[in-house]
Chain A
Amino acid sequence: MKEPVVKLMQGNEACTEAALAAGCSFYAGYPITPSTEIAELMAERLPIYGGRFIQMEDEIASMAAVIGASLTGAKSLTATSGPGFSLKQENIGYASLTEVPVVVVNVQRVGPSTGMATSPAQGDVMQARWGTHGDHPIVVLAPSSVQETYEITIEAFNIAEELRVPVILLLDEVIGHMREKIVIPDKDSLKITNRKKTDARPEDFLPYKADEDGVPPMADFGTGYRTHVTGLFHDETGFPTGDPKKADALLRRLHEKLDKAKDRITLVEEIETEDADIVLFAYGSSARPALSALRQARELGIKVGLIKPITIWPFPEEVVDRVAKKAKTIIVPEMNLGQLIREVERASRGQADVIGLNRVDGELFKPEEILEKIKEVR
């Protein structure tokens, strides 16, 4: 095995490099701050490896193109920010229902609307979960460092491929733009998952008949299976159905395939929660000042812990439930006016006080303000 490479890299750059390492061979996108570096780097890097990049006419088309590309077997990526993420939503729903693996990056900025395009926020947490129409399954991952962005981008592709589901990689302007030391692992040491392909004969193939794990094996377009892919509710054959039983079975299976994989795909870090009276719950860039505040509080003898979810959907409710049993208070710093705190409240089931700390001014929290809150609730 080769020596790992040490670099200073932007989060957006780490995302690009990791996507390539994960085997991404197709990118379609539309320029939007603060995600544009991903498109620029993909435009430069993809063709070197024989991959393909296209700047589409709009965000909607970009989302459509990555789904089309993925159906030919290409691991596909698109990246955007809040307003563009909204435009992509209809086709994200299409990918959910048709079970097409794709990774969608949203480098969050302040909104609604054009908002503050160069400043960070975490206002798209609920949009990432519920942005598209219908009762759809989705996976949302939120790394909090450049190193983690690299690792979690690979994980995003792995989950998308394994479960045939769109995966949202929720960065924010801080993570996307800051440069940080990163150790790039040797390619041979990476665990890369590729979608299950069918080995059935074309005449026997049922494109939406799932295995035990709830995931149907795929047949790429152009390989002789002549499959039909539709956004209409369909049965195992892939053809539209209006049968209520089959419709029910389809939507339930789409959710169950995630439930079955929940333990594996719900990534959470716990830091000093074991003896903590006060627990911080922070994700993305907010986890950085939270960790700083934790260290300062511990020096003052205050028992503070941190739950840092990387997977925010599915929500890590078991961890919150367990921690809430022991902790007195859970503080949820978010760069929004209280989004994921609702899930923390729900999961903690009244066992601990849940208190929000919110910023929507385009600035990252300072450790001191989190420390102040800790002292206040002590």
Chain B
Amino acid sequence: MQRYEIRLAGTGGQGQILAGIILAEAAAIYEGLNAVQSQSYGPESRGGASKAEVVISDGEIDYPKVTVPDFLLVMSKDAWGKYGQGIGSKTKILIDSTLVSIEQDSVPEGTRLYKLPITGMAKDLGKEIVANIVALGAITAISGVVSRDAVEKAVLSRVPKGTEELNKKALSAGYDAAMSLVAVEE
């Protein structure tokens, strides 16, 4: 697996950083790949723009940050404004359509836009807080960068005791919904 760069962007408090950590752990611990996760954040813990990055590779990862993302998750309007510019010609973009509306004609040619009501799906599961796990399921399905099995193991090792079932459901919801988008595409 060649170097694969993922950027998760949204608002502080949405759990992008935790999603990034879980993704990196899935790759590093359960898939035997190399992974680096980093983030940038403002001084505010909640509400400011938040960005997590994950680089995954089967080789050494020299440069630890994202240069041109292979995958971009967008979970707020601000995040699109800030990170929508830095995408490449083949970037796969997943937007949380509950919070952001972008049309295919406003993204560069060659890029692929996926829309899922991530926050809405999390609400339907009973807890908006699992939106990041719904997103994680969708990223796994669309990117194929790590296996669903590895991500599930990584999720279960990170989430608080007693929330395992909820998080498993969230992961499945995101994964299955995204799989149907991918199937349509194919």
Contacts and interface: CB of A to CB of B under 8 A. Distances in A.
Interface of A: 6-8, 117-118, 174, 177-181, 285, 288-289, 291-292, 295, 364, 366-368
Contacts of B28: 6-8, 180-181
Interface string B86-97: 000000000000
A366 B67 contact: yes
Interface in B1-39: 21, 24-25, 28-29, 34-39
B64 interface: yes
Interface string B35-47: 1111111110000
Interface in B93-142: none
A8 B35 contact: yes
Given A6-B28, A7-B29, A8-B25, A181 B64 contact: no
A177 B34 CA distance: 17
A292 B42 CA distance: 28
Contacts of A368: 67
Contact of A288 (B24, B42, B43, B64): B64
Given A179-B21, A367-B67, A368-B67, A292 B35 contact: no
A180 B35 contact: yes
B62 interface: yes
A174 B29 contact: no
B36 A117 contact: no
A117 B64 contact: no
Given A118-B43, A291-B62, 15 more contacts: A6-B28, A7-B29, A8-B29, A8-B37, A118-B41, A178-B36, A179-B37, A180-B36, A180-B37, A181-B34, A285-B64, A288-B63, A291-B63, A295-B62, A367-B63
Nearest to A175: B64
A117 B24 contact: no
> Considering residues B28, B35, B42, B62, which has the most beta carbons from chain A within 10 angstroms of its beta carbon?
B62
B123 to A, nearest CB: 29
Nearest to B17: A179
Nearest to B26: A8
B65 interface: yes
Contact of B64 (A7, A118, A178): A178
A364 B35 CA distance: 18
26 contacts: A6-B28, A8-B21, A8-B24, A8-B28, A8-B29, A118-B41, A177-B39, A178-B36, A178-B37, A179-B21, A179-B24, A179-B36, A179-B38, A180-B35, A180-B61, A180-B64, A181-B24, A181-B28, A181-B29, A181-B34, A181-B36, A288-B62, A292-B63, A364-B65, A367-B62, A368-B67
Contacts of A289: 62-63
Contacts of B67: 366-368
Nearest to A146: B36
Query: Closest 6 A-B residue pairs measured CB to CB?
Result: A181-B28, A292-B62, A292-B63, A179-B37, A178-B38, A291-B62
Contacts of A118: 40-43
Contacts of B38: 174, 177-179
Contacts of A181: 24, 28-29, 34-36
Contacts of B35: 8, 180-181
> Considering residues A177, A179, A292, which has the most beta carbons from chain B within 10 angstroms of its beta carbon?
A179
B53 to A, nearest CB: 9
A283 to B, nearest CB: 15
Contacts of A6: 28-29
Nearest to B3: A292
B68 to A, nearest CB: 10
> Considering residues B25, B36, B63, which has the most beta carbons from chain A within 10 angstroms of its beta carbon?
B63
Contacts of B21: 8, 179
Nearest to B22: A8
Contacts of A364: 64-65
A288 B39 CA distance: 17
Contacts of B36: 178-181
Interface in B63-93: 63-65, 67
B31 to A, nearest CB: 11
A288 to B, nearest CB: 5
> Considering residues B21, B28, B34, B39, which has the most beta carbons from chain A within 10 angstroms of its beta carbon?
B28
